[in-house]
Amino acid sequence: MQTVLVTGGAGYIGAHACKALARAGFQPVSFDNLSTGWAEAVKFGPFVQGDLMNRADLDAAFARYRPVAVMHFAALSLVGDSMTDPGRYWRVNIGSALNLIAAALDAGCLNFVFSSTCATYGDQDGVLLDEHSVQRPINAYGASKRAIEDMLNNFSASHGLNRVIFRYFNVAGADPEGDLGEQHRPETHLIPLMLDAIEGRRPALTLHGTDYPTPDGTCLRDYVHVSDLVDAHVLGLGWLLDGKGNAEFNLGSGRGFSVREVIAASTAVTNRTVPVVEGPRRAGDAAALVSGSTRAVEVLGWKPRYPDLADMIRHAYEWGQKPGFSK
């Protein structure tokens, strides 16, 4: 059985990726320092508690498991935090990626699937973003991800590293079978915050800005189901193992929803009212980010199973009715 090292494998997306890899016949090895992940989410393969900033931890994991590829999800990823403390994002995201790439190359592991972000495109209102859109990030999170993309391209040219880059939009939902769900510390994503407000786990959902140049004044985002997202990553792994070379793909639905539209969809799905308060804009937030790419479908063969926002909210809501991971 071929092994894949999954950094951030105890986190929201990484854990779902491990389940998808195991279902596809791979052994996922979760590498995580548990700073934001959950040990209880590691259910589908071995767990290595280690730090990407510690090269010895990485070397030991590569020596023990001999992975054929890396899936790199682990990163600092809070836009607002990256605006107030950009140095931490440059230091941690870039430093850990460089350590990981160097360890992989030294171990002879030349296949790398990278979790990038639509934040590399910055704020381009009215533009459907595809893989050829100009990348001009407006926050340190997006800038650090863009820098790692450049790093991968450099090592591809110099050391023969094969890479697939996924730039994805807002990830939402939960495992439809109920094994995994979204639970961050702290929680910053719209749908779980909204559901927390419905359940009384927080007083209200805050609308961060109501004066954006969008139809209803709230930010517009493209949502992709987490299970569909990780299916694409497994296809990207197959792409590399089949020797098809370097590639990059956007992952989104091609449709944008405003925050108010997501709230309305949640009310329809749950038949519960979302308590809302209005607040100021957050620094670094783009007005609209929507994917116009069909390349993942046409070239990679990606077939999203849950493209409807209602399904994403329903699966997240069902997960929220179950006991979450212990803190």
- Give the catalytic positions in this structure: 141
To the nearest 10°, report the CA torsion of 79, 85, 91, 92.
-50
DSSP string, 58-101: HHHHHHHH--SEEEE------HHHHHH-HHHHIIIIIHHHHHHH
Structure tokens at 72: 């790199």
Which has the closest alpha carbon to 179: 21, 37, 40?
A: 40
CA 10 to chain centre: 13
d(CA 11, CA 36): 7
DSSP string, 102-136: HHHHHTT--EEEEEEEGGGG---TT-EE-TTS---
Q: Cβ(96)–Cβ(55) under 8 Å?
A: no
d(CA 48, CA 60): 10
Q: Cβ(36)–Cβ(12) under 8 Å?
A: no
